[in-house]
Amino acid sequence: MKRMLITGTSGFLGSRIIEFYRDRYEICAPSHRDMDITDQEQVWEVFHDFKPDMVIHSAAISDVGMCEREPERSGKINVDGSRNIAMASGEFHVKCLFCSSDQVYFGSQVQGPHREDEKVIPRNVYGREKALAEAECLRVNPECVLLRLSWMYDTRTLKEEEHGDFFRTLASRLRTTDILSYPVNDVRGITDVGEVVRNFENCTELEGGIYNFGSPNDRNTYETVSAMFEELGWDTARLKRDEESFGSAPRDISMDQKKLNACGIAFPSTLESLVENMHGLLF
C-alpha cells in the first residue's frame, strides 16, 4: 500500500480526504497538536518517521475574516507552515499537493475565467497569504502541485461542529418559506468536495506548478441558484437578487479549466453537480 500523509484532518476537507482514502492508502493524519505545521522540526520528524509517498496539505487558517483580524498568526500558518511542508516534501522526495484558493484572483484586473499564468494581486489577507504560500512552496520545491480550489460543499454533515457550506445552507433554507437572496455581484465556481477529493489521486503525476481545480461556473450566485431551480422545475418566485453584497467591488473569481483538462482531469460544471446533488437529496 502507498503511504499518504494528510494535514488538516480535523477540518472540512481533511476529514473527507481520510474518509475516501483510508482503505486504499496507509494514512498518517497527525492532529494539529501532533504536528504543528509551523514547527519545522516536528514536520521533519513526521516525514522522516512515516516516509510518505505523497502529502495532501490542507491545514490552514481558512477563515477569511480571521486572516484579516489576525494576519500575523494566519501568515505563520498559511505561508510559513506551507513552506515547511513543501520543504520537507522536497527533502524526502514526496509528491506534495497544496490546497490553495480561487481567492488569489479576487482583485485581479483581468476578466474571469482566470488562468493560472495571470498576475494576481489579491485584495484580502487570505488571498495574499495563499499567493505567497504558492510562490514559497514552488521556490523551495518546484515539484509541488498547487491546486487553486473553489468554494466547496458537501451534501452531508460529517461532524456537528463543522462550518456550514453553500449546499447545506441552501438545502435547509428550502425547508422554510424564506425568501432566498443570493448575490448578483459574485461569480465563482462552487464545487462538490467529493469531486475534489476523488481528483486528488489524479494529481500525483502532474508536473510541479499551479492548477485551477474545481467546477467551472460562469454564472453569478443568483443566476446559479435560479438556473438550478429551473432545471429542477421549481418556481423561482422566492429567489431574490442581492445587489448589495460585493456591490461596491464586484467579484469574479471564476477559473479557467483548460490547463487541468489538458492533463486529463475534469470537473462537472457547478450547475450540473448542484442539480444532481439536489435531486439526489430530495427525490
Ligand X SMILES: NC(=O)c1ccc[n+]([C@@H]2O[C@H](COP(=O)([O-])OP(=O)(O)OC[C@H]3O[C@@H](n4cnc5c(N)ncnc54)[C@H](OP(=O)(O)O)[C@@H]3O)[C@@H](O)[C@H]2O)c1
User: Which residues in this chain contact ligand X in the complex, by CB under 6 A?
Assistant: 7-14, 32, 36-38, 58-60, 62, 77, 81, 99, 101, 149, 151-152
- Name the CA dihedral angle for 65, 273, 203, 205, rounded to a multiple of 10 degrees: -160
Nearest approach in angstroms of CB 283 to ligand X is: 26
Nearest approach in angstroms of CB 190 to ligand X is: 9
Task: For ligand X, give the closer residue by CB, 37 or 138.
Answer: 37
Task: For ligand X, give the closer residue by CB, 7 or 238.
Answer: 7
Nearest approach in angstroms of CB 253 to ligand X is: 10
> Is there a contact between 18 and 68 (Cβ–Cβ < 8 Å)?
no
C-alpha cell at position 255: 477559473
Task: For ligand X, give the closer residue by CB, 113 or 232.
Answer: 113
3 state SS of 127: helix
CA distances to 32, 144, 179, 238, 264 from 176, rounded to whole Å, are 38, 45, 9, 11, 41
Cβ burial 244-254 (10 Å sphere, 16+ → b, else e)? ebbeeeebbbb
Q: Which residue is nearest to ligand X (CB)?
A: 11
Instruction: Return the bridge partners of 95, or none.
Output: 54
Task: For ligand X, give the closer residue by CB, 38 or 245.
Answer: 38
Nearest approach in angstroms of CB 173 to ligand X is: 18
Task: For ligand X, give the closer residue by CB, 84 or 226.
Answer: 84
Task: Write phi, then psi, for 245 (nearest 5 degrees).
Answer: -60, 130
Task: For ligand X, give the closer residue by CB, 44 or 234.
Answer: 44
Nearest approach in angstroms of CB 227 to ligand X is: 21
Residue 278: burial class (beta carbons within 10 Å; 0-12, 13-18, 19+) = buried
Nearest approach in angstroms of CB 167 to ligand X is: 11
